[in-house]
Structure 1
Amino acid sequence: MPGSSSLRAWWAQRPPAAGAAVLATGILSVGLHLAGYETLSRVALALAGAAWVALGADFVVRLVRERERWLAEAGTPAGLTAVAATTVLGTRVSALGWQSLAWASLALSAVLWPVLLTGVARQVVRHLAGHRGRRMPGDVFLCCVATQGLAVLGATLAKAEAMTWPAYTALALFWLGLVLYVLMLALFDWRQVTEGAGDQWIAGGALAVSAFAGARLIAADRGELYLWNADDRGALRAMTVALLVLSLCWYAVLLAAEVFRPRLRYDVRRWATVFPMGVTAAAMLSVAAAVRIPGLKGPGEVLLWVAVAAWLAVAVAALAMVRRSVTASGFPGSPGSTRSVRSRGPR
């Protein structure tokens, strides 16, 4: 059908940044679960899972049929949303008791992570060599997000399966993610705070997911496992709380920048705004339980509903954009189509 052809044409032009939609929806599912809204959480999980399957199939098709394009896209920071989204979904399905699927998510993410991270490192080097003095947009922080996503999933599985090695591996990834954050912060274009199209929010979201990883590492130390001594536990607790505070500072600055200089036009990178909002809420709820600061739960739920509202707004804008794109591509009967059926005159 012509309409289907137009939709396929639009899908073929989809940028790698579209993967942030899966990431944003998945973290909302995690946050809703932590807040006790299980039905809504499962609805969000179903949406994220369906989108992940569609994007995953497209990922494989491009690898096989359009290898040059795949390599070009895989070398961008946005390509790391594949790793981050997979780890987030793995974390959520682990909470459902589907540990085999969570392990599969961890394995797939662990295979993709070094490949995509290496490609991003090469692009960063080329960027610095070819654009001296020119900084990079917010999606560069996905290097940290993907790494911390692995830490979150590893710590989650360590607690669920009462195994030590995933926790120790997750701890190493946690510290590596913080190192990557500092390196990417040096490359970040600070003008993006007021000029970015949405992905500038990842600068704060990367710290929030780091706090989330710290909370999961603290939680893994309870129950059947004894992972950290008193000094290690104290350092991990202090770092986790500090990361949460810094992420909230970023949240306030970025929100103020949005109010001061509104950017209301839809951009696919707006999904990269929803994810940091959602993961900040999830981090607050997780830290509240892990560090035993119950006062964080209320603000965490408020931020969660703010993230849900942002998700709905971006989803509506995205659907409107898809409709306009398909209509503009033209097929019989569509408004503005160059192939619309012309009037045949009086009968």
Structure 2
Amino acid sequence: MTLLTRRAWLAGLPPAAGAAVMAAGILSVGLDLLGHEALSLAALALAVVLWCVLAADFTTRLLHDRGRFRTEADTPAALTAVAATTVLGARLATLGLQTLAAVLLALAAALWPGLLTAVVLHWRRRMPGAAFLVCVATQGLAVLAAVLAAEGRGDWLAWAALAASCLGLLLYAAALVRFDFREVAGGAGDHWVAGGALAISALAGSKLTASAVWTGGAHSALRTVTLVALALSLVWYAVLLAAELRHPRAQYDIRRWATVFPLGMTATACLSAAQPTGVDLLRPLGEVLLWIAVGAWLLTLVAMAAARRALSPH
């Protein structure tokens, strides 16, 4: 592929490409929880590179192509910019890079209100699975804030995380009533976000449950919400997997990265929730689900490469 062709391909990437950053980032988090440091760092490096490429493209459109920027900002996929930034920040925080993670939290928080408002104002009936990104982006803020609070950045971040998590659950309900359930059988990949949004809600809940800020009844309530959200995400996982087997969709679509992310997020939520909730069976379940997510990531990468070769001039 020539340099000119490569630049044209990058310039043509839609906002949905942000799900590729989210997928690599959450796999890095999950692999770290299992102690696979080398693989985790490799996934993180890929996520960082992809994030930088997409951030540069985002900035270019904002400064030089405002018409396209406004059009794309109205779509739910635009919120992958917020979600990808928070997932990346959460992993960097675990490496001791709390200051950088805090900068990413501030950036994501600055982007979130405008993008969320634009998306919600353009909601309609029978939305695709990307509609649940309103929840994912909001819960991403909750996860990163809770992680930084646990790293000693202030209890106020834990309270902010709780507020964001509660709002995320409300946004999930709002998206659910607009979701076109026919997407389960015919969606191009982002229909998996219906379950992934609950998984990241459970991940946020697990981080809040592990916090020393809440004790007694508040801790018990957070634990219950975490387990309910996780259980519902696993139900979605089973339903969506059965639908994939019943209605195979083998052709590559960029929205397939929005399938990999929920797979990795569900696995990571199980791994993260095991200790604070006291449900030990979640860890082996999370380990199995994580390797399934890694396999899905590899398959999607191969499918993407094949699709690019098919489109490249010979």
With normalisation by structure 2, the TM-score equals 0.98
- 1:79-228 aligned at under 5 Å gives the runs 79-124=78-123, 127=124, 134-161=125-152, 163-221=154-212, 227-228=213-214
- 1:240-279 aligned at under 5 Å gives the runs 240-279=226-265
| 1:286 CA displacement | 0.3
Q: 2:309 aligns to what?
A: 323
Counterpart among 261, 268, 273 of residue 287 in structure 1: 273
Q: 2:3 aligns to what?
A: 4
- Answer yes or no: is 1:65 the counterpart of 2:64: yes
- 1: CA distance, partners of 2:143 / 2:312: 38
- 2: CA distance, partners of 1:228 / 1:290: 12
The alignment covers a number of residue pairs equal to 314
Q: 1:35 aligns to what?
A: 34
- Answer yes or no: is 1:231 the counterpart of 2:222: no
| 1:35 CA displacement | 1.1
- 1: CA distance, partners of 2:312 / 2:89: 33
| Structure exhibiting the larger radius of gyration computed from Cα positions | 1
Q: 1:338 aligns to what?
A: none
1:269-318 residue CA offsets vs partner (Å, 9 max, x unmatched): 00000000000000000000221222211110000000000000001111
| 1:162 CA displacement | 5.1
- 1: CA distance, partners of 2:235 / 2:156: 34
1:119-171 residue CA offsets vs partner (Å, 9 max, x unmatched): 101211xx3xxxxxx41100000000000000000000000025200000000
- 1: CA distance, partners of 2:215 / 2:283: 27
Letter in 1 for 2:107: L
| 1:258 CA displacement | 0.2
| 1:229 CA displacement | 3.2
- 2: CA distance, partners of 1:292 / 1:42: 28
| 1:323 CA displacement | 2.4
| 1:80 CA displacement | 0.2
- 1: CA distance, partners of 2:18 / 2:189: 14
Identity of aligned residues (%): 56
* Long gaps (5+) in structure 1: 128-133, 222-226, 328-333, 335-347
Alpha-carbon RMSD across the aligned residues, in angstroms, is: 1.0
Letter in 2 for 1:158: A
Counterpart among 297, 309, 312 of residue 311 in structure 1: 297
Letter in 1 for 2:174: L
- 2: CA distance, partners of 1:19 / 1:64: 19
Letter in 2 for 1:53: C
- 2: CA distance, partners of 1:22 / 1:86: 9
Letter in 1 for 2:179: F
1:3-41 residue CA offsets vs partner (Å, 9 max, x unmatched): 111122222221111110001110000010111111100
- 2: CA distance, partners of 1:49 / 1:109: 15
User: 11-20 vs 183-192, which deviates more?
Assistant: 11-20
Letter in 1 for 2:57: D
Which runs of structure 1 show a deviation greater than 4 angstroms over 4 or more consecutive aligned residues? none
- 2: CA distance, partners of 1:102 / 1:29: 15
SS of 2:251 mapped into structure 1: coil
- 2: CA distance, partners of 1:11 / 1:90: 24
